[in-house]
């Protein structure tokens, strides 16, 4: 079974530029998560989708970050405009569902963003 | 809110040495506890988990026991290999099934 795919793997941009990350979850997984992992810290949840609806976006900085999951499969996370403090690894994860026995999350390799 | 505190690294060991990574948690409910591992260049992988007090999770020679009285979930392995070099994350999931991670501990095993 194919795992969670993410692209690009690395991105370097200047502050105030925009950037987008793409995630393709495991086939059949209804729930998709985006995490931000700053160097030296554990991943922090940014947004959680169930199919194409948002379950939780309480930690998403909505003035500059946006995410969508059209058709309940692939997802994109966008930052516009980027700030220096956005430098981090952005992880995508998916799970069969978001509660009960099916909530084990499978993670992609991440996108490392450097903002200069 | 829920939080996880784990032993700071980095940790450097020789092959066949014993490894212990301490993890303590704070939660309002009765959380499930996890250890995730991140090998170089790869995504996070679930290593083991425990869903209730006194449960022991085990996988690949690693073990961790859910201790409610000490709010701990320490990761142990009796004899490490070079291939165990990775970053290890302790995490918890409370009633809302959301994961809260510790800061991670980098482990390097030397031949």
Kindly state whether A47 is in contact with chain B, defined as any CB-CB distance less than 8 angstroms.
Answer: no
Tell me what the pLDDT averaged over chain B comes to. 93
Interchain pair B102, A105: CB under 8 A: no
More confident residue, A83 or B43: A83
Alpha-carbon Rg for chain B, nearest whole angstrom, is 13
Kindly state whether A4 is in contact with chain B, defined as any CB-CB distance less than 8 angstroms.
Answer: yes
Q: Which of B42, B45, B101 sits opposite A42 (nearest CB)?
A: B101
Size of interface A-B (CB pairs under 8 A): 43
pLDDT tens per residue, range B21-33? 999 999 988 899 9
Distance between CA atoms of residues A21 and A1, nearest Å:
22
Distance between CA atoms of residues A79 and B50, nearest Å:
36
DSSP bridge pairs for B93: B32, B99
Instruction: Report CA B89 to chain centroid distance, whole Å.
Output: 5
Considering only CA atoms, which of B57, B104, B62, B103 is closest in space to residue B83?
A: B62
Q: Which of A4, A41, A104 sits opposite B43 (nearest CB)?
A: A4
Distance between CA atoms of residues B108 and B97, nearest Å:
31
Count of other CB atoms within 10 angstroms of residue B54: 10
CA distance B43 to chain A (A): 4
pLDDT tens per residue, range B47-61? 999 999 999 999 999
How confident is the model at residue A52, as a pLDDT?
Answer: 85
Distance between CA atoms of residues A17 and B45, nearest Å:
32
pLDDT tens per residue, range A27-78? 999 999 999 999 988 999 999 999 889 999 999 999 999 999 988 899 999 9
């Amino acid at each position: 079974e194919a795992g969670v795919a993410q692209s690009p793997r690395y991105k370097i941009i200047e502050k105030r530029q925009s950037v987008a990350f793409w995630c393709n979850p495991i086939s059949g997984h209804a729930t998709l998560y985006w995490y931000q992992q700053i160097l030296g810290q554990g991943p922090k949840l940014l947004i959680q989708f169930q199919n194409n609806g948002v379950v939780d976006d309480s930690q998403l900085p909505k003035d500059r970050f946006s995410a969508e999951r059209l058709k309940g499969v692939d997802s994109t996370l966008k930052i516009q405009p980027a700030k220096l403090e956005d430098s981090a690894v952005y992880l995508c994860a998916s799970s069969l569902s978001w509660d009960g026995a099916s909530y084990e999350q499978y993670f992609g390799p991440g996108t490392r963003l450097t903002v200069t | 809110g829920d939080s996880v505190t784990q032993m700071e690294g980095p940790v450097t060991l020789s092959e066949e040495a014993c490894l212990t990574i301490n993890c303590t948690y704070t939660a309002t409910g009765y959380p499930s506890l996890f250890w995730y591992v991140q090998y170089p260049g790869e995504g996070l992988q679930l290593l083991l988990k425990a869903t209730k007090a006194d449960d022991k999770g085990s996988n690949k020679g690693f073990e961790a026991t859910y201790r409610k009285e000490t709010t701990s979930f320490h990761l142990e392995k009796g004899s490490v290999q070079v291939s165990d070099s990775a970053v290890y994350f302790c995490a918890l999931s409370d009633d809302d099934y959301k994961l809260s991670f510790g800061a991670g501990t980098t482990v390097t095993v030397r031949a």
